[in-house]
């Protein structure tokens, strides 16, 4: 038998009929939320069809929900209707929905893993770009459009063109002050936002093996920002330990049988990728974006590049447009950039480890008087755990707002958004024009960097602070 990559093994396990000219995949898990599902359900009714496997479909509300007092409801008429439609559609078609006040509610890409819905070897789809997050568990996970959502609802299958494979091998030890967010931003900076187009990226190497599951999720979450169809990481003992005893994870003998199958999900020794990229992180510095896409990124101790010195004319033109929108100039030192807001949250960095790291930086400090700072847990499970550990009090004492779960300021689809001209250090995944609000200016950073920025009022090199990652973790969990 020919050696295969991790992707090829999962892909071939889900082909309905390998002889078909158009590959058709069986879908193991379909996640839906309030923004992209209403159109799909409407189309389903128009076609006179029903949901084929409601037991494999799970819904949550996250994009439009308020993160302040939930008892006041949703003020925006369209957002309120979308949430209502999701609840009504799920009730009609027999789909479990974790709505606004459900104890399991949260961002779709956070609740999937924490509930044990996400497991190795599955095909997972959702009407959301950052479905790639689930690939950290060795699943094939990617975002789909409304018509594709309808197809999955009606058939539990999805026609797909087979992508190419890329191995991004990450080696070395993460330096002090550097996180998986910095690593993936640096990779996107090297590859560009189209470097992964047409590929499934498998992240391998010693650095990845040493990462926690939450760090791996951050890496896979942002694979889409390099243009990739998705990101994947082979499951290992860390994966199995993370999933053990989760609500939907297999139990008893079924667990033992599942682990035996999951242990087969790795790239064979002689398997061939279509492309390979090797990254060494030993000398990596914390990363910050300066422009309007995640590939326009540099180290915190550097300056914004001179546009005339960029590789080609298209890059130069894009950089000039980005700097005009951002209100910045070439050669400005990153550490000289002043801020208005700081956002710690999103499906990229709103898990318990992210909050622990940020709280360790914030502890015994105060938010700068000119800064509005928000911490938004990724789910009610994360929120309850953080409060049990006292993280909420660390943030509140320092001057942060401690919010209810939701996508929040990651995107301007709820009451949390930037005003025209406001500048934000954000732990989210996109810094597009208007992403966090019309005219808003976004700098993508790690949770530690965001926490430091809130305290100083400007982009700050976290390596200059007196801390170690281990001390941060010990302080916040003790």
Q: Please report, in range form, the residues annotated as the binding site for [4Fe-4S] cluster.
A: 347, 407, 410
Residue spans of alpha helices (H) in 94-166: 108-114, 146-155
Report the binding-site residues: 347, 407, 410
Helix pair angle (213-221, 352-362), 10° resolution = 100
DSSP 233-294: ----HHHHHHHTT-TTS--HHHHHHHHHHHTT-S--TT---SEEEEEE-TTPPPEEE-SSST
SS3 111: helix
Q: In this structure, are residues 296 and 290 in contact, taking their beta carbons and an 8 Å threshold? A: yes
Q: State how beta strands 164-171 and 29-32 pair.
A: unpaired
Beta bridge partners of 322: none
Q: State how beta strands 287-289 and 297-299 pair.
A: antiparallel
Q: CA 124 to CA 112: how far, in whole Å? A: 10
* C-alpha separations of 28 from 51, 63, 117 in Å: 14, 23, 10
Q: Which residues of 51-81 are buried (b: 16+ CB within 10 A; e: fewer)?
A: bbbbebbbbbbbbbbbbeeeeeebeeeebee
User: Computed from CA positions of residues 206, 116, 96, 353, in that sequence, does the dihedral angle turn out positive or negative?
Assistant: negative
DSSP 90-105: HHHHT-EEE-TT-TT-
């Amino acid at each position: 038998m020919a050696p295969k990559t991790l992707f090829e093994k999962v892909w071939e396990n889900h082909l309905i009929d390998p002889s078909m000219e158009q590959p058709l995949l069986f879908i193991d898990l379909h996640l839906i939320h309030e923004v992209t599902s209403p159109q799909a359900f409407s189309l389903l009714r128009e076609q006179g069809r029903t949901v084929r496997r409601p037991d494999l479909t799970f819904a949550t509300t996250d994009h439009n929900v308020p993160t302040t007092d939930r008892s006041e409801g949703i003020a925006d008429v369209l957002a309120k209707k979308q949430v209502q439609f999701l609840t009504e559609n799920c009730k009609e078609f027999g789909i479990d929905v974790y709505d606004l006040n459900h104890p399991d509610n949260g961002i779709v890409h956070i609740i999937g893993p924490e509930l044990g819905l996400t497991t190795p070897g599955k095909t997972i789809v959702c009407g959301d770009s950052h479905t790639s997050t689930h690939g950290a568990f060795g699943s094939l996970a990617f975002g789909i459009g409304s018509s594709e959502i309808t197809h999955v609802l009606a058939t539990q299958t999805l026609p797909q063109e087979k992508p190419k494979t890329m191995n991004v091998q990450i080696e070395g030890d993460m330096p002090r002050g550097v996180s998986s967010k910095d690593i993936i931003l640096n990779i996107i900076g090297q590859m560009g936002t189209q470097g992964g187009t047409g590929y499934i990226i498998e992240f391998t190497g010693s650095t990845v093996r040493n990462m926690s599951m939450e760090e791996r999720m951050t890496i896979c979450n942002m694979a889409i920002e390099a243009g990739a169809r998705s990101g994947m990481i082979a499951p290992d003992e860390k994966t199995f330990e993370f999933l053990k005893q989760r609500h939907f994870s297999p139990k008893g003998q079924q667990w033992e049988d599942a682990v035996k199958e999951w242990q087969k999900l790795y790239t064979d020794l002689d398997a061939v990728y279509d492309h390979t990229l090797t990254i060494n992180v030993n000398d990596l510095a914390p990363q910050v974006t300066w422009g309007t896409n995640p590939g326009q990124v540099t180290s915190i101790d550097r300056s914004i590049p001179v546009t005339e010195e960029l590789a080609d004319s298209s890059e130069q033109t894009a950089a000039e447009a980005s700097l005009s929108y951002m209100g910045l100039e070439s050669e400005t030192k990153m550490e000289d950039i002043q801020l208005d807001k700081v956002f710690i949250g999103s499906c990229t960095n709103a898990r318990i480890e992210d909050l622990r790291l940020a709280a360790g930086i914030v502890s015994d400090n105060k938010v700068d008087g000119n800064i509005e700072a928000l911490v938004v847990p990724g789910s009610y499970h994360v929120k309850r755990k953080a409060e049990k550990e006292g993280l909420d009090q660390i943030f509140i004492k320092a001057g942060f707002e401690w919010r209810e779960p939701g996508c929040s300021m990651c995107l301007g689809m709820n009451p949390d958004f930037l005003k025209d001209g406001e500048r934000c250090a954000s732990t989210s995944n996109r810094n597009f024009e208007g992403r966090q609000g019309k005219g808003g200016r976004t700098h993508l950073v790690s949770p530690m960097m965001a926490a430091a920025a809130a305290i100083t009022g400007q982009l700050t090199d976290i390596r200059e602070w007196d801390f170690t990652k281990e001390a941060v973790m010990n302080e916040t969990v003790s």
